[in-house]
Every structure is written in C-alpha cells, then in structure tokens.
Structure 1
Amino acid sequence: MMRSLYSGVSGLQNHQTRMDVIGNNISNVNTTGFKRGRVNFQDMISQQLAGAAKPTEELGGVNPKDVGLGMTIATIEQVFTQGNLQSTGVSTDVAIQGNGFFIVKDGEESFYTRNGVFGLDRDGTLVNPANGMRVQGWMARDLNGEQIVQTAATPTDLVIPVGSKDPARETSNVLFACNLNKNTPEIIEGASEADIAKGTWGTEQKIYDSFGNEHLLSVSFRRVPGNPNAWQATVNVDEGNADFTQTRIGLGTTDGVQNTFIVEFDNMGTLRSVTDSSGNVSNTEGEIVLQASYTVPEAEADENGNPTRHTFNINLGTIGSMKNTITQSASKSTTKAYSQDGYTLGYLDNFKIDSTGTITGVYSNGTNRVIGQIAMATFANDRGLEKAGDNTYVETNNSGQANIGESGVAGKGTLLAGALEMSNVDLSEQMTDMIVTQRGFQSNAKTIQTADTLLETVLSLKR
C-alpha cells in the first residue's frame, strides 16, 4: 500500500518539473531565437512479485508480476525547430534560416546562439549589444587589389571600419561597347561644319588620376574615305586642355605615336582589327587592347624633369563578337563606355549583409568592398548543448565539437539580414500541455489522498 504513496509523490514532483519547463517556454514566447524545452517521462524500476515461468507438459507459461514504483524524467531537451522570421528593417539584425548557430565570444570562451540581435560598439566591433559578446567571423584581406575572405582560417572578431577611407585609384582599364552607325556619311575635303558634325560620332567617359581627380576621356569617330568598314578614332583626355595633356594612344606603347588610330570591321559589323598612327596592326583574334597615356596636371615631374604621365588601357572588345564590343551596324550610333575601374577618395558610409553572411562596405565614392563574413557553427547533436543564459549555449561532451564554416555549406542554413528569428514556442500547444500536466498532477495528488484513506481504514480496524 505504501508503494502507491511514493508513486504518487514521484508523479507530483516530475509533473511539477514539467510545469516549470512549460512556464519557462511561455515566459519566453517573445524571446528572439528561443528554443522551447520538452519534458519526456519514463517509468521507474518495478518490483517483481513473481517471475515468469515457461510452459511445461502439464501447464502453460506464466507471465511475470511486476508492480511499478513510479515515474521519473527521461529527458529535458531543447527542440530546435525553425522559428518564424520577422522583418525588422535594422541592417545589423540577422536571422538564420535552417541549421546552425552564430558564434559569439566573451574573452576566449566561445558561446553559440540563434539570437541575431547585433550592433556596433564604439570601436566598430560587431557585438550583441545586450551583453557585449563579440560576433565571430573572418575579416577580408587584400590580395592583389581584391578583398578575399579565407573561411578556412580561425574566426576572429568582426570590425566594421565605419568612416574609414577608401583611397583614390587611378583608372587602369576602360572598356568600350559603343555602336557606330554604318550609314554615317563620309567627311569629304572642304565639308562644312554641319556636315563634319553629321559625319562624326563621339563617346565620353570619366576617368581618374592617382590623386582621384576626375578627367574626361573623349573618343570621336569619323568614317575613313574610300573604306566602307573603317573609322578613324581621335582620343583626348580633357579635350579643352589637350595641348597640355598631350594624349597618345597606340598598340603596346604610346612612344612615338599620336592620339589617333584606325578601327576596321568585317561585313558582319564585328570588330576585325586596329592600326595605330605608327602603322602597328593588332592581333587577328581575341581582345584588342590599346594603350593610352596623358600628362597629369599638377603632378611632380620625374627625376629627369619630365612631366608625369598616366598610362591606362582602352579595351575595344573581342574580335568577331557582338557582346560588350565596339560594333558597326546600320542602326543609331550609341555613346557607351562599358566600364572603367578608377575612382576618387571615399569614406565608408554604410554596410550590408547578404545571405552568405558576407559584409560588404558601401563607400561614398560608389565602390563596394568586402569587409568580412559571419561564421556559423553546427553540431552533430545540437540537443546535447548546454544552456548558458543570455540566449546562448556551450559545448558539452555529448554535443560534439563545433563544425565552423560559412552559411549554406555542409548543412548550415542561410542568413537573412534585417530580420530576426522569433521564438518557436507555440502558445496553443503549451496551453494544451499545461492542461495535461495539471490533470496529471491532480491525479497523482488523488493517488496519495486515496492511499492515505486506505491507510486510515487499516488503522481504524482496531478501535
């Protein structure tokens, strides 16, 4: 009779624990990145009143007789189902869609979290503003003028250099992709200014010197008399100051050449060849690249007293191609320099985070630079992680070591900036569990009351 008392006690205690977990779930229904807990029960050891007996020739087998001694908690585990994503519009907020955790550090101790409420401290370090833990990732490094992120390296603090300078870069390459109208009239000797204007087509592109000063690259085209598929191009940097800039253009060199060249097309209107003013002829396949140079204003002279000249390439495109290449077609001429790679001095104005966690800086000069990338961690058994408070977890012996890498790789989820992952607590489910838990608690209490009544009856047998 006493067994039922202790069974009821175990039921009371463990249903109370389950109620504690449900209460914690409900209290965190609006906690960012919170994962609900779940309690699983199992029965305790049973007392055997009689063992099993195998069948004999005279009798059949007999089953064992066991009396259970109550119940206990099997597991209290975290349920890492996906929470809903909520847009916040804050650029430093990041949500995880799928598996994985952010890595944050307090000193040398690593923690893992699904809470993507991040911000910058006074030093520009990306942190959790609630506790100052530093978000881990990889900073980009410069490799031959390109920002490279090495995700195989050990993660480190992410620092956003707000207000930092992006040095001016002189133009090295200009790509042309204009079309020249096949029906443009030739300019004959003695033509009027109006006829010259009709027979000339010009393109312009801003370029930059090493100081970040802006210059205007002008290229004008006119039909070559007697050759229906040839055009003469005249190149000038700052045409209004052409006597000083002394623009030169040639194939492979600008020494001893002028600022003109002849471009020829085939009968399909695609680029065929280029001849510079010294008679040098371009290759017959691949890209045609001309070298141009000009005198840079207000620059120091070289050691020989000669004015400083800046050299850059003009790429006319690929021979035989119509894509991103100068062409000759019977349609309106177009003014288009496809791109140039120079820019003036700029300051970091803003930054954005993409789905891979890559942080890209946006500078006032119009350039974008990769600053770094947010790291993610996954575990073989994420339910084996131990809660450490502040919405964080730490490794345990049963979680396995963190598998650190970039998002979208090796089972890691993707990132969404400007959003947060909500708690995965379902209130309707928790309320239902609360009712079931309450009924279980009450039933176990009734078991104790009933056992007590039975004991009282036994005690009252003798008056």
Structure 2
Amino acid sequence: MRALNSAVTGLQAQQTAMDVIGNNIANVNTDGFKASRTDFSDLFYQTLQGGTDNTNATQVGYGVKVSGVSKDMSTTGETTTNVPTNLFINGEGYFIVSTDSASHTAGSTTNSSGATVADYYTRVGNFQKNASGYLVDANGNYVMGMDATSLAAYQADPTSLPTLHAISLIGATFHPTAAGTSTSSDVTVTANTNISDLTINSDGTISGTIGSSTGTFEYGTSNGATTASASDPIIVALATFPNDGGLSQAGNTSFTQSVSSGSPTYIQASNGNSTTLISGALEQSNVDLAREFTNMIVTQRGFQANSRVITVADSLLEEIVNLKRS
C-alpha cells in the first residue's frame, strides 16, 4: 500500500524540520547566528493511466523529501557591549579569521611559510587582544587584516589577490595624528607599550593613545606586512560573496567558502561601499521565536497527521487480512 511508504517519508521529513527548528531555538541568543529553514518537495509519481484529449492523466505520488535547508542571512540589530575590540558590521561583509598568524595570499590554503592555513568567515566580531598582541576571536582564530598597498593593487586588478596579515599591535608603528606631526614622531609598539583608548574605527583602521599622543596604528616590517609602504594603516579585512546563502556552516558561527557561495571579494569598510564597522557592539541572532514556535506547531501537526495515515493504512490492511481469514 503506497500510503504507508508516503507517510514514512512524511515522518522523516517532519523530523528533519523539527531538528532544524530545535537548532534555531537553541541559538536564539547566540551572537550572529543565522536561522535555517527546511525546504520540502514532492517525490516522483506513478502514472496509472495516461491522459487523452478528454481526460487528464491519473497519477499517484510517493511522498515528500527534504530538498534542502536554506539559511536566512538577514541582519538584525546589534547588542552593545562597550568592549572596544568588539565589532558589528553595519552592512554587507564578513570578518576573515584564520587558524594561523602567518601572512598569506587571500584564499590560499598555505601561508608564507608553506604551512596549511584555513580561513573562516564570520559576522561575529567578538574579538580581543591576546597576550602576544594579536587580535583573536572567541575560538582563538586570528583576525585578518590588509595593508592599503595590497588592497589598492587588488582594487586596480582583481586577479591580484591581496595579502592577509594577522592583526598584531606589537611590532606595529604608532603614528601620532596631531597637526604637523612628522614620521619622526612614530613609535614602534612593544609588549611593554601602554596603549589606552584603543578604538577600531568605522573604516576598519585602528587608533589609540600612547602617552599624551593620539594616533593610528600602521604596519611595520616586524608585524607581517612586507608589502606595506610608509604610513600604511592596519585595516580590518572584510569579504563579500555573490551568494552568501551558499556558504557552508563550519560551526562556531563561522562559514567557509563553497561552490554555491562563489569566490569572495575583499573590501575595506567605507571604501567605495556603504558598510561601516561599529565598535563596542555585536550582531544579534536573527532567530524569530514567534515564527519558530509557529513552525513547531505546524511541524508537530504534520508529524501527527502522517502517523495517523500509517494507523489508518494498517487498519485497512488488517481488514483485508480478516477478509482472507473469513
């Protein structure tokens, strides 16, 4: 009896939908979490009788399947944390974090030393400065930056991919920005340098105060940016994708590039685009609890209905068996 098989496919599909709903609700307070939605499609059909000029074809379906799980990549509001190294992306783009601190060409799987490196993309700017001076995320991955020279070359020729550098203030050059200040006033940041009022600006550059001077942090030869020129500020790197809904989820609110997402485009906030960075804030989860609870009820009823089909089909088969006995 086809109804039994169709109902089983219905139970399996509704179970998958409930798994997705449960994961969404579990992450209602996870910073930067993107909710998912289960997509269904019907299975193949058996044609019992072909159609004619006067009658339609008689076809019976074989149930339902999960055709995919779509991600809702919409952006919600921010949560204020007042932590200056926490960042909220106001607009398009993803932060780039890496498993290794060595510089490497964007998109490469090996760093400048030939070691394996993996880049991840995330909307969660829950960053902090570690004991070595590097900016890292909550998972210990290194936040990647670009230097202006490499970025400018990439913008002029997109085939010339920029070089990504782990952002480290130790070894960087601090350039006071007071009027008339020359490069002779620059300071090389060391582990013992006392930095106050550290701020990541809306364009991804980094500023702060050393002593009585306020200024910006620039790349130096000792902190990775061999392509940087004089007065090249450290820039927090961002990436955009043709289809960010096609990104592969890697856990820890991070994504990896996939065939569906397309190749990333590397950008600086506020540089020819409307994206800005907001310091001291994190992106909220985009889970809508009201919608999830509604979907849960619908899914539960769908599961119950398919269970009922199995019960009824079983009763019909029992009647047929009883007819044989009589």
Common fold by TM > 0.5:
yes
Aligned to 1:101: 94
CA drift at 1:116: 0.9
SS at match of 1:352: strand
CA drift at 1:51: 1.5
- Match 1:364 to one of 211, 215, 222: 211
**Using the alignment, how far apart are the partners of 1:151 and 1:122 within structure 2?**
33
Aligned to 1:424: 286
Go from structure 1 to structure 2 and tell me whether the alpha carbon gap of 1:28 and 1:361 turns closer, same or farther (over 3 Å shift): same
Question: For residues 46-445 of structure 1, what are the structure 2 equivalents within 5 Å?
Answer: 46-54=45-53, 61-107=54-100, 108-128=117-137, 130-139=138-147, 152=154, 153-161=162-170, 340-341=180-181, 348-350=194-196, 351-371=198-218, 372-409=234-271, 413-445=275-307
Question: Is the contact made by 2:93 and 2:239 (CA closer than 8 Å) also made in structure 1?
Answer: yes
Go from structure 1 to structure 2 and tell me whether the alpha carbon gap of 1:116 and 1:345 turns closer, same or farther (over 3 Å shift): closer
- Letter paired with 1:160: L
The TM-score, its normalising length taken from structure 1, stands at 0.56
**Using the alignment, how far apart are the partners of 2:175 and 2:199 within structure 1?**
20
**Using the alignment, how far apart are the partners of 1:44 and 1:410 within structure 2?**
47
**Using the alignment, how far apart are the partners of 2:264 and 2:8 within structure 1?**
41
Question: Is the contact made by 1:22 and 1:434 (CA closer than 8 Å) also made in structure 2?
Answer: yes
Question: Is the contact made by 1:165 and 1:348 (CA closer than 8 Å) also made in structure 2?
Answer: no
Question: Is the contact made by 2:174 and 2:215 (CA closer than 8 Å) also made in structure 1?
Answer: no
Compare the two structures and name the one with the higher helix fraction.
Answer: 2
CA drift at 1:150: 5.3
Structure 1: unaligned runs, 5 residues or longer: 55-60, 142-147, 172-338
Stretch deviating more after TM superposition (361-370 or 118-127): 361-370
**Using the alignment, how far apart are the partners of 1:390 and 1:157 within structure 2?**
20
Aligned to 1:37: 36
**Using the alignment, how far apart are the partners of 2:176 and 2:306 within structure 1?**
77
The yes-or-no answer on 1:22 pairing with 2:15 is no
Aligned to 2:225: none
Aligned to 2:229: none
**Using the alignment, how far apart are the partners of 2:274 and 2:163 within structure 1?**
18
**Using the alignment, how far apart are the partners of 2:91 and 2:315 within structure 1?**
55
1:398-435 deviation digits (Å, cap 9, x = unpaired): 21111111124566732111000010001111001000
**Using the alignment, how far apart are the partners of 1:9 and 1:411 within structure 2?**
50
SS at match of 2:79: strand
Question: Is the contact made by 2:176 and 2:213 (CA closer than 8 Å) also made in structure 1?
Answer: no
SS at match of 2:203: coil
Go from structure 1 to structure 2 and tell me whether the alpha carbon gap of 1:397 and 1:341 turns closer, same or farther (over 3 Å shift): closer
CA RMSD in angstroms comes to: 2.6
CA drift at 1:345: 8.4
1:332-386 deviation digits (Å, cap 9, x = unpaired): xxxxxxx653797875523211111111232213231243111111111111111
The TM-score, its normalising length taken from structure 2, stands at 0.79
CA drift at 1:156: 1.2
**Using the alignment, how far apart are the partners of 1:412 and 1:167 within structure 2?**
27
1:106-157 deviation digits (Å, cap 9, x = unpaired): 13111111111001111111111x321111112478xxxxxx9858431211
CA drift at 1:53: 1.2
**Using the alignment, how far apart are the partners of 2:175 and 2:97 within structure 1?**
32
- Letter paired with 1:84: G
Q: What percent of counterpart residues are identical?
A: 39
SS at match of 1:52: coil
**Using the alignment, how far apart are the partners of 1:168 and 1:67 within structure 2?**
76
Compare the two structures and name the one with the higher strand fraction.
Answer: 1
Question: Is the contact made by 1:33 and 1:114 (CA closer than 8 Å) also made in structure 2?
Answer: yes
**Using the alignment, how far apart are the partners of 1:13 and 1:74 within structure 2?**
12
Question: Is the contact made by 2:203 and 2:271 (CA closer than 8 Å) also made in structure 1?
Answer: no
